[in-house]
């Protein structure tokens, strides 16, 4: 499973490779984190069409040299859109891992500098890194930039940032990938959309995918659902994959601490109720 040691994981390699992480000139804070990823496409439970497209992107990027021989480039600029907890960030990890290159996650908090004009220069530093080093650059929660455009004070600065972002995406000539993820795609400028070679739309899992997620996550925790899980898909309508991952972890924690082995209907029902409570609290906030 994604978070388990056997199958997946993130390893911070920022400090021990030749990858030099750029910093914000004003605050000195790093503009990105660099990790080596251990995730496989099988970690993802998604609609078959989406899996196929991810596999295709991996295949193209994994065979970049063969394409370049013919003057062609793989699909390198990918936009991932969809609700929270549906696997956008995890997919970018799978892409990096499957192509065998590091993941450079841009930190918007430091990218958007307190110093006027510095943000554009920070962005340039990121793209310079992306040209120098073959990697997947992830602009996660990309809407942070788009949304800031509504803020009138920031408007001029952010507009400039977006247009330099678009120029840099256009002229990107590296061998890696530029991935942006958002759950507010409607906030993005159509001009931004056009820059991407492919746009993948994520959705919350359907009933059979929810059952599949339950089996997968429990297996990663060394358990297997039996008859007690029969109503699970029905009880979790509208839940995201991340919600289901959390339910499984909650349930296993409770079951382990109570000295029980395996999955019990009572623990599962409790964990579902806990997640419902959490979701209500989030909506209320």
* Residue written as token pair 């605050």: 27
Q: Output 2 or 22, the one with its CB closest to ligand ATP.
A: 2
40, 6, 45: which is closest to 211 by C-alpha?
45
Closest contact distance (angstroms) between CB of 210 and ligand ATP is 11
Which residue in 3, 121, 164, 167 binds ligand ATP (CB under 6 A)?
Answer: 3
* Residue written as token pair 């919350």: 204
Distance from the first to the final alpha carbon of the chain:
31
Interaction mask 87-106, Mg ion, x per CB under 5 A = -xx-----------------
180 lies in the site for ligand ATP, by CB under 6 A? no
Binding residues for ligand ATP, rule CB under 6 A, total: 19
245 lies in the site for ligand ATP, by CB under 6 A? yes
Per-residue CA distances from 261 to 171, 228, 252, 267, 272 (Å): 56, 14, 9, 11, 19
Inter-helix orientation angle 152-171/118-132, to 10°: 20
90 lies in the site for ligand ATP, by CB under 6 A? yes
Q: Output 34 or 213, the one with its CB closest to ligand ATP.
A: 213
| Residues 38, 138 contacting (CB under 8 angstroms) | no
* Stretch of 53-61, 152-160, 193-201, 238-246 contacting ligand ATP, by CB under 6 A: 238-246
Per partner kind, with CB cut-offs from 5 to 8 A, the member of Mg ion, ligand ATP, none near residue 46 is ligand ATP
84 lies in the site for ligand ATP, by CB under 6 A? yes
Which residue in 44, 129, 192, 271 binds ligand ATP (CB under 6 A)?
Answer: 44
Contacting residues toward ligand ATP, per CB under 6 A: 2-3, 43-46, 84-90, 181, 183, 213, 241-242, 245
């Amino acid at each position: 499973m994604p978070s388990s040691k056997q199958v997946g994981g993130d390893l911070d390699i920022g400090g021990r490779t030749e990858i030099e992480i750029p910093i914000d000139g004003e605050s000195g804070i790093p503009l990105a984190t660099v990790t080596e990823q251990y995730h496989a496409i099988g970690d993802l439970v998604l609609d078959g069409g989406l899996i196929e497209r991810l596999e295709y992107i991996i295949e193209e990027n994994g065979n970049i040299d063969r394409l370049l021989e013919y003057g062609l480039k793989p699909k390198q600029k990918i936009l991932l859109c969809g609700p929270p907890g549906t696997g956008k960030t995890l997919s970018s990890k799978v892409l990096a891992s499957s192509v065998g290159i590091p993941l450079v996650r841009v930190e918007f908090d430091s990218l958007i500098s307190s110093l006027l004009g510095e943000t554009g220069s920070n962005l340039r530093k990121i793209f310079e890194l992306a040209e120098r080093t073959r990697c997947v650059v992830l602009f996660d929660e990309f809407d942070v930039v788009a949304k800031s455009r509504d803020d009138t004070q920031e408007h001029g600065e952010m507009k400039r940032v977006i247009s330099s972002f678009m120029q840099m995406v256009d002229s990107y000539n590296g061998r890696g990938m530029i991935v942006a993820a958002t759950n507010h795609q409607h906030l993005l400028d159509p001009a931004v959309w056009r820059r991407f070679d492919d746009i993948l739309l994520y959705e919350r899992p359907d009933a059979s995918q929810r059952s599949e997620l339950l089996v997968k996550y429990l297996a990663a925790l060394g358990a297997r659902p039996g008859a007690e899980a029969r109503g699970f898909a029905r009880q979790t309508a509208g839940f995201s994959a991340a919600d289901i991952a959390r339910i499984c972890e909650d349930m296993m924690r409770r079951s382990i601490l109570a000295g029980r082995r395996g999955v019990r209907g009572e623990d599962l029902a409790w964990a579902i109720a806990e997640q419902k409570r959490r979701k209500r609290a989030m909506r209320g906030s």
